[in-house]
Copies of this chain bind each other. A is one copy, B any other.
């Protein structure tokens, strides 16, 4: 079986997300890492690519060079991952799509709603995929949640509670650290800080699992470190299309919440609870029954969860495997497209350009609500 060629823009030396993409893409043997422009410094970019095993002529000094050369090769790249600073996501993703490449873009997909809508258009026009790396949706037990909601195990969903709260932004001494400071500088970070860095994942998961979009929000932005121009804590109420009540708390101030990504879904006939720190377990409580611990790899899980599973029950899988599931979905979809087949429906669970756009719309509404005294704003 010929492997699909894969390339990476950004995510160079010292970048953890870069490692996660390189590892996640190759785990199943579907993609081969063949091209990259991974550093803002042209020389380091070339050197780092070669250190990662790229051929010299496909280790590029910048994304423009990569785009130019790759689009003229016979053996084309099948997927390009964009893991550069947020402000460049729109330009780079657009350019690669327009040159005929499928794209997996890091979150947040864009800085503004306008840019996001533009990518939706470009994807439609070019027929190229622009997936968004909400990587946590790749966890088998998150997919199990979606399956259970889908088939009605919980009845109508009354409440969804999404949290992403850790202590990542809690050290006041870091306020001057450039790796943290840029997040609170509107010229680099855009309209929001912890909301686009963390909360956006939890929000997407609420949509992913319930199958609903957010229709309105009421938000309170907090500034635990007062000098910051953007929020480091956000509590938002929201409503979803089919009436589900939504609650979001995202914070960078929550010292001791190691990672703090948690999703709870409560319906008429049961409740689900999942947390990323223990991603192989899902707590499921049918109404008036004991709570059950559903284990990844167990034989009672949905087809979607089993498809996303790799190793046996009891052996933990981690975040890179979740990323690998997005790559598997994309690999299967791209292969089917290339062969003129209809992709497997479950392969279509990767986060789409529309999902990426919807998230930015929600964030914009939250920013407006927070500025206007927490009044309700339509998405």
Binding site for B on A (CB under 8 A): 1-3, 16, 19-20, 22-23, 26-29, 32-33, 50-53, 158-159, 161, 165-167, 170-172, 218, 220, 222, 224-225, 233, 235, 237, 245, 247, 249, 251, 253-260, 264, 266-268, 270-273, 276-280, 283-295, 298-300, 310-321, 373-376
Query: When chains A and B are docked, how far (Å) is the Cα of A26 from the Cα of B24?
Result: 10
Whether A319 lies near B317 (C-beta < 8 A) is yes
Q: Which residues of B contact A218 (CB under 8 A)?
A: 218, 220, 373-374
Q: Which residues of B contact A314 (CB under 8 A)?
A: 166, 258-260, 276-277
Q: Which residues of B contact A224 (CB under 8 A)?
A: 158-159, 245, 266
Whether A315 lies near B255 (C-beta < 8 A) is no
Query: When chains A and B are docked, how far (Å) is the Cα of A253 from the Cα of B299?
Result: 18
Q: Which of B172, B260, B280 contacts A268 (CB 8 A)?
A: B172
Q: Which residues of B contact A279 (CB under 8 A)?
A: 316
State the number of copies, please: 4
- Distance from A8 Cβ to chain B, minimum over Cβ atoms (Å): 12
Query: When chains A and B are docked, how far (Å) is the Cα of A237 from the Cα of B318?
Result: 34
Those 9 A-B pairs whose CB atoms lie nearest each other, nearest first: A256-B285, A259-B314, A255-B271, A220-B237, A158-B224, A318-B318, A256-B271, A222-B245, A316-B318
Interface centre among A33, A273, A318 (most CB of B within 10 A): A318
Q: Which of B3, B222, B299 contacts A288 (CB 8 A)?
A: B299
For A26, give the chain B residue with the smallest CB separation. Answer: B26
Q: Which residues of B contact A317 (CB under 8 A)?
A: 318-320
Query: When chains A and B are docked, how far (Å) is the Cα of A278 from the Cα of B276?
Result: 12
Q: Pick 8 A–B contacts, CB within 8 A, sort by A.
A: A29-B52, A159-B233, A167-B285, A255-B270, A255-B286, A315-B319, A374-B375, A375-B375
Q: Which of B1, B165, B300, B320 contacts A311 (CB 8 A)?
A: B320
Known contacts A218-B374, A293-B291: A253-B266 contact under CB 8 Å: yes
- Distance from A335 Cβ to chain B, minimum over Cβ atoms (Å): 13
16 more A-B residue pairs beyond the given contacts A29-B53, A167-B285, with a C-beta to C-beta distance below 8 A: A29-B33, A32-B53, A159-B251, A166-B314, A167-B271, A170-B268, A233-B245, A237-B374, A255-B286, A256-B270, A257-B273, A290-B292, A290-B298, A310-B320, A318-B320, A320-B320
Query: When chains A and B are docked, how far (Å) is the Cα of A26 from the Cα of B25?
Result: 11
Q: Which residues of B contact A294 (CB under 8 A)?
A: 290
Q: Which residues of B contact A166 (CB under 8 A)?
A: 314
Query: When chains A and B are docked, how far (Å) is the Cα of A216 from the Cα of B291?
Result: 37
Query: When chains A and B are docked, how far (Å) is the Cα of A50 from the Cα of B50?
Result: 26
Q: Which residues of B contact A258 (CB under 8 A)?
A: 291, 295, 313-314
Q: Which residues of B contact A165 (CB under 8 A)?
A: 161
- Distance from A234 Cβ to chain B, minimum over Cβ atoms (Å): 9
Query: When chains A and B are docked, how far (Å) is the Cα of A32 from the Cα of B22?
Result: 14
